[in-house]
Amino acid sequence: MGLLVVGTLAFDAIETPFERRTEVLGGSATHFAHAARFFAPVELVGVVGTDFPDQALRALEQRGIDVRGVEIAPGKTFRWSGRYEADWNTRVTLATELNVFERFDPKLPEAYRSARYLFLANAEPCVQMKALEQVTAPELVVADTMNLWIDIRLKDLEELLQRIDGLVVNEEEARMLTGKRNLFQAARALLERGPEFLIVKKGEHGAFLIGRDVRFALPAYPVEEVVDPTGAGDSFAGGFMGYLAGAKDLRPGSLRRAMLYGTVTASFCVEGFGVEALERLEKPRLEARFQELASLVTP
Ligand code: AMP
């Protein structure tokens, strides 16, 4: 009945203008789950290798995240490394080692199949589709994607677009998918291809929600000290969907509030490496920042 996420659990190596860290616990599903857990029970589906510390799974469990859907496969865990340039907005991927994720075939435990809210984190579109097909009656399905899949798996991605309610993209991906430079023209073209709404992420400049009958724009919360932006997009999605799953309300006003929760949750994520800051976070601080952001954007 809860909120289900399917995606990567990873070890990241991250270089920022100030620091270099290796073996950082990351992955799209990890970030999403750590963000969404404040609002609703989260179920996680993914795969790790035998090198993945049991203690990392226990840390997720201790925060109420159901990890029965995490498969442990022979081999190594997915690894990603990236570098942020001095302006923080440019991220260069240095290496992606799929490892056990290469043969990932999502199998949902029986208890997860009744999930109402589903987030398909960045993965090959046919893998996202396989997960989606195992959920019996989802009320809200949101998917993330990336330039690689737009390049090499466009047909599968087009099929997926017809089956989802929301798509999370950045500006570049919206343009690549539609060939349109103007963001609103690109959004309109994408809405004709399936989803009810799009979330367009603009990094430190915030995010747009563009749907058939809802449009909303928000700046990012002004964080004073960015430590590591990795996972900001996934924790935005976690806060957004977590709020909706908890509120059980998908009307436009609720979608707007979900945008604020996504923004606020992502702002905590970037204050630490990997999920460190989200692991430490407690709900009252999140709520206080929500109120602060709400007053920042209210005339
Ligand atoms: P974000 O900063 O929100 O785009 O998320 C970054 C997280 O996604 C990192 O923790 C990575 O481990 C993970 N990641 C990076 N590349 C991929 C990929 N190709 N597929 C799935 N997850 C990825």
Instruction: Note if the pTM is more than 0.85.
Output: yes
- Is 263 a pocket residue for ligand 1 (Cβ < 6 Å)? no
pLDDT band at 212 (very low <50, low <70, confident <90, very high): confident
- Judged against a pLDDT cut of 80, whether residue 127 lies above it is answered with yes
User: What average pLDDT does the chain have?
Assistant: 96
What spacing in Å lies between the alpha carbon of 298 and ligand 1's midpoint? 33
- Dist. CA 47–CA 65, nearest whole Å: 15
- Is 27 a pocket residue for ligand 1 (Cβ < 6 Å)? yes
What's the distance, CA 163 to chain centroid?
18
Q: What is the pLDDT averaged over residues 155-171?
A: 96
Among protein residues, the one with the nearest Cα to ligand 1's atom 13 is 27
| pLDDT tens-digit map of 195-211 | 999 999 988 889 999 99
- Judged against a pLDDT cut of 70, whether residue 1 lies above it is answered with no
DSSP line for 237-281: HHHHHHHHHHHT--SHHHHHHHHHHHHHHHHHHTTSSTTHHHHH-
- Dist. CA 296–CA 299, nearest whole Å: 8
* Continuous segment of H or E residues that includes residue 131: helix 125-133
Q: Answer for the pair 26, 231: CB distance below 8 angstroms, yes or no.
A: yes
- Dist. CA 218–CA 159, nearest whole Å: 30
Provide the residue type at 92 as one letter: V
- Is 81 a pocket residue for ligand 1 (Cβ < 6 Å)? no
Q: Answer for the pair 144, 118: CB distance below 8 angstroms, yes or no.
A: no
| pLDDT tens-digit map of 92-107 | 999 999 999 999 999 9
Percent of the chain with pLDDT over 90: 95
- Is 8 a pocket residue for ligand 1 (Cβ < 6 Å)? yes
Q: Work out which ligand 1 atom sits closest to the CA atom of 30.
A: 10
Among 11, 24, 80, the mutation site with the greatest number of ligand 1 atoms within 8 A of its Cβ is 80
- Judged against a pLDDT cut of 80, whether residue 299 lies above it is answered with yes
Q: Work out which ligand 1 atom sits closest to the CA atom of 237.
A: 3
Q: Answer for the pair 178, 155: CB distance below 8 angstroms, yes or no.
A: no
Q: Answer for the pair 169, 189: CB distance below 8 angstroms, yes or no.
A: no
Q: Angle, to 10 degrees, between the axis of helix 54-62 and the axis of helix 28-36?
A: 30
CB burial of residue 166 (10 Å; 0-12, 13-18, 19+)? buried
Q: Answer for the pair 108, 135: CB distance below 8 angstroms, yes or no.
A: yes
